[in-house]
Amino acid sequence: MLGTRELLPGTLDMLILKALSLGPTHGYGVLLRIEDTSRGLLSLEQGSLYPALARLEKHGKIEGEWGRSENNRRAKFYRLTPQGTTRLAAELARWDEMIAAVKNVIGAEELTEGPETA
């Protein structure tokens, strides 16, 4: 299982935005949604999640509103803003490019011509 510390920089924000694109939820719900949709391969720490939620809210990517959770506890519910939807689309496109680039490097055969390697 990969933890928050193993995520590439910027990945946590993208994961949060994606989780909220599936519908509004409270902070802990975001954490559970990411863990569930990753089929248990990602495990987020609350100490990383909540500062990221606050940062995304401050920058207008998500909006939060206080309400009551399923177990009647006071909780802040977040939803994606139009600005967040735009950012998510850009991040997903960038992520697809990164995956393609890494796959190209991993799948590369030995070079027969081109620059000398040191």
The model's pLDDT over 45-79, given as tens digits with 9 standing for 90+, comes to 888 999 999 999 999 999 999 999 888 999 999 99
Indicate the pTM of the whole model. 0.83
CATH topology of domain 2-105: Arc Repressor Mutant, subunit A (1.10.10)
Where in the chain are the domains?
A: 2-105
Which residues of the chain have a pLDDT value below 70? 1-7, 111-118
How far is the C-alpha of 21 from the C-alpha of 88, rounded, in Å?
A: 9
Q: What is the pLDDT of residue 44?
A: 87
Residues 6+ apart with CB under 8 A from 14: 88, 91, 92, 95
Q: At 87, phi and psi to the nearest 5? A: -65, -40
